[in-house]
Amino acid sequence: MQKEPTVSVWNKFWNRKKDLEKVYPSSPSVLKAILNQGSVEGLKILEVGAGTGRDSLELAKAGAQVFILDYSEESLKITRELALQAPGNLHLVQGDAFNAPFPSETFDIVFHQGLAEHFKNPLPLLKENARLLKKGGFCLCDVPQTFHLYTVLKQLLIALDKWFAGWETQFTMPQLRKLMKSAGLEVVYEYGDWMRPNLIYRIIREIGFKLGIELPKYPLNKTLYQKWKDELLDTLSRCSISRYTQVCIGVIGRKN
C-alpha cells in the first residue's frame, strides 16, 4: 500500500530542484485567480507547501505581507533566496500544514497548489486553512484534474512503485467543490489550466537532462503560433466543460 510522502521525500525532491531556471513554475492561473479577487496590497497572505514560492514572491512584490509555511527544509532554502527580492514582505515559517503555528483569523488569503492531492484525507487541511482565514477571507486550492494523460501516467507509475512521492490522488471539479464546501467555505470562483508547454514536451525535456541535453524551457516562446495558441487556450478555459480536460483545476472558497 502506497503511503503519503514524508518530509524526507520532499527534502530529496526539492534538493534536486535548486536551479529554478530549469524548473517550471506553477500554473499561471493560480496567481491570476488570486489577483482577480482584487488588489493584494496590504493584505496578509499565507502559502502552504510553497515549493519554489514564486507566486508568493510576486504577491509580496505587489505589496502583500506574505508568509510561506512548509515543513521541508530544502523547499525553504529555495524560498529563502527568493525572499531577498522582497525584503520585509516575504516571511518563511517551518511547520505543519495541519497544525499551523498561527492564531485563528490571521490571514486574508490562504492558498496552496499541488498539496491537497498528497493526503488520503485532505479535509482537515482545508478546515485548518479555514481556521486561519479572517471573515470574508479567501482560500484557494489547486489540484491535478482526473481526466488527463498526466493522471494516467501518474497512476501507472504509482502502481509500479516509481512515482516520486509514492502516492498521489486527483480530483474532478465537483469533488473539489464538495471538499471546499465541507470545510465550511463558500465556493466563489473556479478555474483550470492546461500544461504549457504540454506534458509530452516536458517528458522529452526531462529525458534530455538525463542525456546531458538541455532543451529550451519554452520552445516556441514569443512566436506568432505560441501567441495564437495561448489566446485559444485562454478562450477555451472560460468554458466549464474544459475543466474535464485540463491538467489542473482550482477553486476559491470564501469564509462567511
Q: How far apart are CA 209 and CA 205, in angstroms?
A: 6
- The per-residue pLDDT for range 13-71, each reduced to its tens digit, is 888 887 887 888 888 889 999 999 999 999 999 999 988 899 999 999 999 999 999 99
DSSP code of residue 203: H
Kindly give, in sequence order, each residue whose CB lies less than 8 Å from that of residue 91, ignoring residues fewer than 6 positions away. 65, 66, 67, 68, 83
pLDDT mean over 147-173: 93
Q: How far apart are CA 152 and CA 206, in angstroms?
A: 18
pLDDT mean over 105-112: 98
Domain boundaries, the chain: 7-194+237-254
Q: Is 114 left (phi over 0), alpha (psi -120 to 50) or beta?
A: left
* Cβ-count burial 64-74 (b if 16+ within 10 Å, e if not): bbbbbbbbbeb
Q: How far apart are CA 240 and CA 135, in angstroms?
A: 28
Residue with cell 507566486: 55
Q: How far apart are CA 238 and CA 256, in angstroms?
A: 26
Q: How far apart are CA 3 and CA 119, in angstroms?
A: 9
Q: How far apart are CA 4 and CA 213, in angstroms?
A: 33
pLDDT at 96 over 70: yes
Kindly give, in sequence order, each residue whose CB lies less than 8 Å from that of residue 15, ignoring residues fewer than 6 positions away. 74
Q: How far is CA 36 from the centre of its chain?
A: 17
Return the pLDDT at 9.
85
What average pLDDT does the chain have? 92
* Whether domain 7-194+237-254 has CATH 3.40.50.150: yes
Return the pLDDT at 178.
98
Q: State how far the alpha carbon of 53 is from the alpha carbons of 26, 136, 145, in Å.
A: 9, 25, 22
DSSP code of residue 45: E
Q: How far is CA 18 from the centre of its chain?
A: 17
DSSP code of residue 171: B
Q: Is 18 helix (H, G, I), strand (E, B) or coil?
A: coil
pTM as predicted: 0.92
Return the pLDDT at 1.
58
The residue ranges of DSSP E strands in the chain, in sequence order, are: 44-48, 65-70, 90-94, 107-113, 133-144, 186-193, 248-254
pLDDT at 2 over 80: no
Q: How far apart are CA 93 and CA 118, in angstroms?
A: 20
Give the angle subtended at the CA of 142 by the CAs of 141 and 148, to the nearest 5°: 145
- The per-residue pLDDT for range 161-198, each reduced to its tens digit, is 999 888 999 999 999 999 999 999 999 999 999 998 99
Return the pLDDT at 24.
86
